[in-house]
Structure 1
Amino acid sequence: MKDPADDTPSRRGARVRRRRILALTTYSLVLVLATVVATLAIERGGIDRPPGKPPEAATTARESPTAVQTSLTFGAQDAELETVTVPAGTANSALISFDLKINRSPVASPQAALVSARIDCSSDGRQVQMSASGKVSTNVLLARGGEISGQALAPPTDEEMTCSLRASAPFINAPSDGVDSLPVSVSLDLGATDRDRHLALHRLDDATLVEPGAELTVLSLQVDDPRSLDSINSTVRLTSCTVVGGSRDAGENKCQPSMTGTESSTVGIRVIARWLDEDGAIESTSTYWDEILAIDHDTHHVPWNLRLQGMASKVPDNATAVVLVVQVDSLAGTPVVVHADGTDAVISTLP
């Protein structure tokens, strides 16, 4: 039975205050959780444009092998960080993927490093001519860290090959607090050897400037049996015109002083499939991937990387061939440069 003393104005007010406090606490927790989820989504996948979100059937590649912890000395050139062996008698081209995470360094003052990486292979003491070396680079604030990923393609081999991930940090001196190397985590993975590997055709001969509002097709490949599609591994090397330097391959810098500024380059990257009918005409078009990323003043160089599987599930019933296209859109901010050197895509098909 309810005690009348419990229903005095002061006790009713206390109960109301408790309910309000509980409601506010619950609301605050919901906001915090929503913020965390949104932040993780942006950090892991960029900002997706609604029309082209990745389909559920297309997933990222299998997990990388256990990372090796090592270091990259300031000033290093082509330091070997990790190796993987390609077995003798590998009849198909070998796909080698890597992830290089630059961990945070305990430095008191702001300092940045240019970090680059590539793959080279050798057999019986001789260098192997690579189909694609996986060359990538980025700027990293030491106190923040960063990461780069890529893939290389080595030719078929009758002999065993040793493939090395090599990294450089050329333009940096040891800071005054005594740090003289970058702590790094390295994963190097040899893809399945029973896949046919196809290197996409380059549509660029040199670094190419893309101004806001323009779009550029950078890679393409026609696959005559679309139902054999397995995966795509692609890298697009991008440089923002936040500064002039580094916006070239072999020729002159493509960014001009009049273009530069502190505003980030906002870039969209799409992987598009143009499905062909038996007459070779485009029957329909679909999007495998659609992502927006920003290249800020500090980072300046970004090697965008994608590993996508499950591609056959998206093939229309009446498609007899497909042209896969990687496209870059300059959306806002400062112009962006797409490098021909290091931009590539490997499309894998089932035999």
Structure 2
Amino acid sequence: MPPDQARRARLPLTWILAALAVAALVALALILPDPERPGGSEGSEAPTTPTALPLESTESTTLTVPQDVRIAERSIDLVGGSSYLVTVEVTTEKPEGSAGEAMYMGIGLQCASHDPQADGRSVGGTQNLLDGEQTTFRNQLLLTPEVDARYSCNITASNPYEEVAAAGVTVEINGTWIIDRATGLALETEVDEMLPATVPTGEVQVVLKQTIPLAELTERSDRRLRVLSSLHVTTCTGVNGSREAGRAWCAEEDIDETGSDVIDRLRLEILDSQGAVCDVIADSSSEVQIDRHRHHQLLAAEETAELRDEPCGETLRISRVIENRGLASLVVHSSNTSMIALEVTDG
């Protein structure tokens, strides 16, 4: 066969092989994920559009002892590199005349993400409910994802105990959580550095403290700071319930069955260059009696304070102070205790 005829005979085979190679490349591209595209890997939940904020999730249900319930579950898409305040409020009431002198209740707020670079957080509190007395739990946390991420948040309420006097009692649970983006300074106190701690009878103790250089706040004429704090406490009417960090915080000498009479104070002060207080810009207090029936409680406080145009010092100090008038000592737990300071930039 002449050379030119042989070349023409091989051409169709060359085209077929080229077509097969292109088809294989296309199929491979469809199978493999694009490493440059967010959410390309299996199981990823990267958000497409950030959720409009503030966002509120509310739901009501009933709980019959023993039972755990979960409500107000919702997903939110957050932007990496930003800080978000999440607050939770749960109200409930043990019916008048229902079984048992008191009824345990634990509540929690959980916010979780499948992304390992998005920090999951939880916070809550416990208290024994008394007949006919409405109880409100309040707490808060900061979410600070490093990357854009989808979170799922929910509220839980729990009384898992079967062999208790309140078994079979039904209560209504009303829960709300709210999330909003922090537009200025947002700072959460490292509570583990100071807590847990026991406040003996007759003592006044700073149980949480945070200092903020005023230079870190935005330069504006109407500077304001919002502080939210919750203390999870137990009165030493017995050793039970005071355990944390591997030991009991109520010793024998701390115990008194009458419970604790407490003055709880949230105080914001300006310190001069020597560290002395030169101005008090907020100081609120409340008196709380925690007897053996209530036993443990979540003490919530909030303040919004204005900063003067020309402050007397360079540092702001935020303090949560407990004065225990006795007769039992009081344990302040690190678990479910929080303090968050936020710069108010709106208005």
Q: TM-score, normalised to structure 2's length?
A: 0.71
CA distance in 1, matches of 2:289, 2:99: 25
Change (3 A) 1:197 1:137: same
Cα distance in 2 for partners of 1:111, 1:172 equals 16
Q: Structure 1 80/270 Cα, relative in aligned 2: closer, same or farther at 3 Å?
A: same
Q: CA deviation at 1:158?
A: 0.9
What do the CA deviations read for 1:202-244 (whole angstroms, capped 9, x no partner)?
3655532211121222222222226744201101111111222
Asked if 1:202 corresponds to 2:191, the answer is yes
Q: Deviations over 1:20-79 (max 9, x none)?
A: xxxxxxxxxxxxxxxxxxxxxxxxxxxxxxxxxxxxxxxxxxxx96853212342334x3
Give, as a single letter, the amino acid of the residue that structure 1 aligns with 2:82. N
Residue pairs, 1:37-116, within 5 angstroms: 68-77=59-68, 79-89=69-79, 91-105=81-95, 108-116=98-106
1:133 and 1:153 in contact (8 A); partners too: no
* TM-score for both structures, normalised by structure 1: 0.70
Of 281, 301, 320 in structure 2, the residue corresponding to residue 306 of structure 1 is 301
Read off the aligned partner of 1:161 and give its amino acid letter. Answer: Y
Between stretches 120-129 and 236-245, larger displacement belongs to: 120-129
RMSD over equivalenced CA pairs, Å: 3.1
Corresponding residue for residue 128 of structure 2: 139
Equivalent pair of 2:94/2:131 in contact (CA under 8 Å): yes
Write out aligned runs for 1:1-351 (5 A). Answer: 68-77=59-68, 79-89=69-79, 91-105=81-95, 108-124=98-114, 129-130=119-120, 133-141=122-130, 144-156=133-145, 157-172=147-162, 179=168, 181-202=170-191, 204=193, 206-225=195-214, 228-277=223-272, 279=273, 281-286=275-280, 287-309=282-304, 311-313=305-307, 317-350=311-344
Which ranges in structure 2 are unaligned for 5 or more consecutive residues?
Answer: 1-54
Asked which structure has the greater CA Rg, the reply is 2
Q: Following the alignment from structure 2 to structure 1, what is the Cα–Cα distance between the partners of residues 95 and 264? A: 31
Alpha-carbon shift at residue 159 of structure 1 (Å)? 1.8
Change (3 A) 1:283 1:244: closer
Question: In percent, how many aligned pairs have the same letter?
Answer: 17
Paired residue total: 283
2: distance between equivalents of 1:88 and 1:312? Answer: 29
Contact in 2 for aligned 1:274/1:282 (Cα 8 Å): no
Preserved contact between residue 101 and residue 184 of structure 1 (Cα < 8 Å) = yes
Deviation at 1:322, TM superposition (A): 0.9
Per the TM alignment, residue 288 of structure 1 is displaced from its structure 2 partner at its CA by 2.4
Is the CA contact 1:84–1:189 (under 8 Å) kept in the aligned structure 2? no
Work out whether residues 97 and 189 of structure 1, in 8 Å CA contact, stay in contact via their aligned partners in 2. yes
Letter aligned with residue 141 of structure 1: L
